[in-house]
């Protein structure tokens, strides 16, 4: 949705391309960090809070900017970008809700007796 918002904002005369670019780059960097297993290697940074903060800030900014664009611009690309930005803001808010670090519980690792039961079968 950030890419769609970027394309639509770029095609219109809104001038709000920067937010979509920054959020797209940050999302790509977080995805790259998780795929390279950096949270296990770099314990210095609290990855849960940093991802939560990125989602909250991005979601709020997307909602604000998209509402401004929808209300003030009348070109089709600007309105489409505003709608995609609203959807991106809602999804970033949902992502912040599900990644809230204090909300997530820790689960116990399976014990050896569990695996011995299945090996014997």
* DSSP H or E stretch at residue 88: helix 76-98
Closest CA to 56 of 79, 31, 23, 30: 23
Structure confidence at residue 107 (pLDDT): 53
Claim: this prediction has a pTM higher than 0.85: no
- 35-54 confidence digits (pLDDT tens): 888 878 887 778 788 889 99
Task: Map residue 117 onto helix, strand or coil.
Answer: helix
Q: What's the residue count for the chain? A: 121
Domain boundaries, the chain: 47-104
- 64-75 confidence digits (pLDDT tens): 999 999 998 788
- 96-111 confidence digits (pLDDT tens): 999 887 776 555 555 5
Closest CA to 50 of 29, 71, 70: 29
């Amino acid at each position: 949705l950030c890419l769609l918002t970027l394309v639509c904002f770029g095609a219109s005369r809104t001038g709000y391309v920067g937010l979509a670019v920054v959020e797209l780059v940050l999302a790509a960097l977080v995805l790259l960090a998780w795929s390279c297993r950096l949270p296990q290697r770099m314990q210095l940074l609290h990855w849960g809070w940093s991802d939560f903060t990125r989602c909250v800030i991005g979601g709020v900014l997307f909602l604000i900017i998209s509402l401004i664009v929808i209300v003030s611009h009348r070109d089709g690309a600007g309105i489409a970008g505003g709608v995609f930005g609203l959807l991106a803001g809602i999804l970033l808010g949902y992502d912040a809700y599900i990644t809230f670090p204090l909300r997530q519980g820790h689960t116990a690792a399976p014990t050896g007796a569990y695996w011995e039961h299945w090996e014997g079968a």
